[in-house]
Every structure is written in structure tokens, then in C-alpha cells.
Amino acid sequence: MSTTENTSTDLPRWSVADVHESLESRSFNEALERIGAGATRLVALFDEHDIRATEPRPVTEADGESADAVISAYNALGDDLQELGATVYATVTTDSRDELAQSLASRLDVQEAKIGPLLARLADWVHSLGVGALAAVSEQVAEHRGPLERLDERAGHQMSESEEGLYAELSTTGSGAWGRLMQDVTSQLTTDVEFPDGRTEHLPMPAVRGLATSTDPDVRRAAYDAELRAWPTVTTPVAAAMNAIKGEANVVNRRRHWDAPLDASLFANSVSRATFDAMQAAVTAALPDFRRWMRVKAGLHGHDGGLPWWDHVAPLPHVSASISWTEGIDWVRSAFSTYSRQLAGIVDRALDEQWIDAEPRDGKTGGAFCMSFTGDRSLVLLNWAGSVDSAQTTAHELGHAYHNTTLAGRTPLQKRVPMALAETASIFCETLAVEAGLSRLEGPERLALLDVDLAGTNQVVVDIRSRFLFETEVFERRAKGTLGISELNELMLDCQQEAYGDGVDPDHRHPYMWVLKPHYYGSHFYNWPYTYGLLFGLGLYAQFQHDPERFRVGYDDLLSRAGMDTAEELGSAFGLDVTDEAFWTASLDVCRDRIRQYEQLAAEL
């Protein structure tokens, strides 16, 4: 692998200019006006057809016509809103100081607040009349049967129509505004890093966090110390955001008759409690294996005992871990080609059509994500750090982009994909990249790739466990009162210790992880679905290895149905019983095998 460092000019930036030249262009403003008018018309259409809770009665042909009208109109507006929202978000996430973009995002929130309660009204209506009966007289209901059956179930966990409408409006100045504040404050944070050679650089936080993969241990420690100095400067507004969002969620969950926040999260992800419990049991049994791996990694970095936080994603010493953008893209493309030319082609489409924004910079959101844009196009945000981990993340996010191509033929109501199932293609593609690398590497280079892969897996299994424990406790404590900054810090450390055990250095953990992770700033648990996605993806990859041709025949259809079927139904389509702990154990056995390979190579080297 090359040690070539990328400059900012090497890295791509996305562009939406072929759709809307700018946020001030005539086409954009006309589209914005259409969204506003369309939302008003959609509300009027629901009123005209009286789509709301009603007394149960026999279904008529007129009901079928009503269903066809409102579902078609809802989907048409949803497509327009997705495209315009992504256009605005493309600027908000790469330049949080752009005041026009922030204002436009707020305007779109207001329109979404008008539309959101309509789904609650549709849920009440189909619950009153019956999805099956409506499907007999409505082509649209028949085509959307899976999503509407989920709405039917949701009807029992809704407030009254007026309360749902009020909550949707208030959330734009409540949880939605607090979440945006958190994102703005953290994306604009910069700090001084005191490098070991005596120089000091003032860097945006994504660049500081990117130094965690530096080959120099003193640089990694310096970046960690810089983080611990910087995050406390924004804890006051971020803690206020945490308390506001979780407090609001507790109130709304209670009024929607959920016994616990987790129950609402499971329903939102189309995952049953039996499936969740089976997965968690398998994860608990695997924690000692990951802790053992962390201690081996710590030993390779010269530490006795557990791994200090700044070395959790550190590259192996004495092994080149740098990789140029071109090399990373070539690796991903080559790995994808082992599955199909179509999958490999997504890499070149993403580059040629400017889907990717890879350069870390001030005002840009940290981490990585992929969002649907228009048609079968996506927008992929990265913060490229010139590491193997960055390349693996690229494979992951382009997996999401491939998933979006399979969803392009579905309607907005059919492609409301829950997070746990949204990770299916991304994990599969990431696994393709890892397996492609392992198939050709030996000795130190093989160990280096295993190191990167297991560091990522460790994050998704062990760190996600700490986040789940943290979020569970935050919900419980917030029901009694607000949590102070010191309490949040201490809770974060306690949950890290419980999950990581003796795999982490107890004197060098990270008390501010709650500040920097946007995943906490939503109404539902946003963490455990990553673990689900990883382990389900590994299970799918095993099916691919067993019978590649049969798998290819059904895979794209499975992805396209991720917003239409439950987790159990999607698993069953490939002969997988996700309610059985043995399935999750088998996926974790893949991780255990890589840990054993790591230990063996570490001992030899």
C-alpha cells in the first residue's frame, strides 16, 4: 500500500447542480413552492376523502377510490420532497455555516410536519376498515399491503389525530431544532493539536478524529488529548439537546402506549422482541472473545492490559497502513466485481456523476453516510483519512448506494426502510471488500487487514453495546429529571467499562462519546440496529458463499423489499431464522475465526 497522502484537491466533492444549479436558482425555488402547495393539497385530499379513524364498517368501491387517490398523491409528493430535501442537506452537511441552507432546511421541516400526521390518519383509517378488505377494492392498497399492515399495527400506538398533528408541528421547534443545534455545534468545533514535533495545528474536529488512524502513536495520543480538551467547550448546549430530545421521546412514547422506548424502537425497525433477544444473547456470549482480541492488539502496541482509547482504531506498528484515494477506490471496485459487474459499476457511477464528498473540512458533518437523492442516484458523505479503514467505510457507504438503486422502482411508502434492514447491503459490500483483501494477503499485510476489520467489528459489537446500555439508562433517568454533564460523562464511562471490560484501559476511556455521536439525538434507539445489520449481513454473505448463483437471483429483490417486509420475513426468504440465537452465534463465529487468525499471526510476527 502506498504512503501517499491525499491533498484536498485529490478528493471528490459531490454536486447536485445538474438538478438545481444552486439554492437560489429559479428551478429550486419553483420546486420549493410546489412542495408547499403540494402539502396543502394533500392535506385537503385527506380531508375530502375523510381519511382518519372511523367506525368499522363494510368496505365500498368508493373506499377503494379514496385509497387509490390518497396513496398515489402521498407517493408523488414524497418523491419531490426527497429530492429537494437531499439538495438542501447536501449543503447543510458540508457547510453548517450556510445560513440560507439552514433556513431552507427549517422550511422543509415545516412541510414535513404537515405531511407526517397524514400517515397517522392513514394508519387509523386502514385499521378501522381492514387492509385485506381495502386491498380487494384498491390497486394501491394491494401494491402497498406490507407497509399498510405495519401502519395497521401502528394504529394502536398513536395519539389522537389532533395530538399527532400538534406534536408534528412542535417537533420542528423541539427535538428537530435541538438535533440540528447539536449537529451545528459539533460540526463547527475546531481545536489545537499539539504534535510531537513541537508544531501546533488548528484543525476541524473531523480531521482531529481522523488522526486516530495515524501511524505515529504520539500523534494519536495528541489527537485524543486535543479531543478531551475540545469537547467540554460544547457540552452545555449538547447536554441540553440530549435532555430535550430524550425527555420529549419519553413523553410521546408514554402517550403512544409504549411500555418502554425499546419497544418503540423495535417496532420502528420491523424487528420482533424474540429476534432482538436472540441477537443480544449471542452478543453477550461473544464479548469475552472481543476483549481478548483487544488485549492482543494492546500488546502489539506495547501496552500491558487493556487498550487505551487512542489506539482502538490504530494501524499496526511497523506495517504500512496508508492508502491513497485512488488505491482505495480500486480496491473497492475490484472487490465489488467479485460479486457482479453491476455492483462494481456503482463505483464508477458514483465518481462520474459526482455522488461522493470525501474531503474533511471545517463545517462538515463528521463520520459517513449515504442518502437517496433522485431516481436511483445517491449522495455519499465521507471523511477520507487515507487509511484502510477509510476504504472499508467507502465500500460500506457505496453498498448503501447500491441498495438505493434497487429501491428506485419502489414508492416512498414502500421504501421507508428501517435502519436495521438498511444496513443489509452496506455490510454485505464491506464484507466483500474484506474477503477480497484476505484472499490475497499473507503475513503482516494480512494481519493489518484483519486488524482494521476487527477494529470496525469491535465498534459495531462492543462499542454499540456500550451505547445501547448508555441510551437505555439515559431514557430511564430522564423520566425522573434532567441529566447534568458530569452525570452523562460518568454514565458514559460506566457503560464503556461494562461493555469493554478488561479489553479497555480503565484510565484512558472516552467520557465525551455522548457529545460527538449524532446517533443519540433522535427519539428512538439508533445504535443496536448497526449490530443487527452487521450480523445479518455476515449471515447473508455465508448464504452467498454457499450458493452464489441462487443468491444473486434473489438478492436485489430482497433489498428492494426491505421497506415492505419484516426482518423475520426477509430472513426467511433466504432460509434464515433470525429468531434463533444459533443464527446470530454463527455470524459471530465468523468474527471469532478472524480473531483466532489474528492471534495466530500476531504470535508468529
315-327 pLDDT per residue, tens: 998 777 678 999 9
- Find the radius of gyration of the CA atoms of the chain: 24
Contact criterion met (CB below 8 Å) for 237 and 183: no
Q: What percent of the chain has pLDDT over 70?
A: 98
pLDDT at 2 over 60: no
pLDDT bin (cut points 50, 70, 90) of residue 165 is very high
HSE of 533, CA atoms in CB hemisphere, 13 A = 30
Tell me the pLDDT tens digit for each residue of 287-310: 999 999 999 999 999 999 999 999
Tell me the pLDDT tens digit for each residue of 414-463: 999 998 889 889 999 999 999 999 998 899 989 999 999 999 999 999 99
pLDDT at 574: 85
The residue among 11, 1, 6 whose CA lies nearest residue 364 is: 11
Over residues 151-171, mean pLDDT: 94
Apex 555 CA angle, 554 and 558, nearest 5: 90
What would the grid cell of residue 58 be?
Answer: 363494510
pLDDT at 149 over 50: yes
pLDDT at 262: 96
Residues 6 or more apart whose CB falls under 8 angstroms from that of 33 comprise: none
pLDDT at 9: 47
Sign, CA torsion 171/34/84/346:
positive
Over residues 385-413, mean pLDDT: 95
Three-state DSSP class for residue 411: coil
- Long-range contacts, 593-596 (Cβ 8 Å, 24+): 594/450, 594/453, 594/454, 594/457, 595/289, 595/290, 595/292, 595/293, 595/454
pLDDT at 3: 33
Q: Nearest 5°: phi and psi at 158? A: -130, 150
pLDDT bin (cut points 50, 70, 90) of residue 6 is very low
Over residues 530-535, mean pLDDT: 93
Grid look-up 469493554 returns 500
Distance CA 546, CA 543 (A): 5
pLDDT at 321: 66
Over residues 529-542, mean pLDDT: 92
pLDDT at 43 over 60: yes
pLDDT at 389: 87
Tell me the pLDDT tens digit for each residue of 456-476: 999 999 999 999 999 999 999
Over residues 336-349, mean pLDDT: 97
**Mean pLDDT (the chain, rounded):** 94
Residue 365 DSSP symbol:
P
Lowest mean pLDDT among 127-136, 330-339, 517-526, 563-572: 517-526
Residues 6 or more apart whose CB falls under 8 angstroms from that of 486 comprise: none
pLDDT at 142: 97
pLDDT at 5: 40
Compute the residue count for the chain: 605
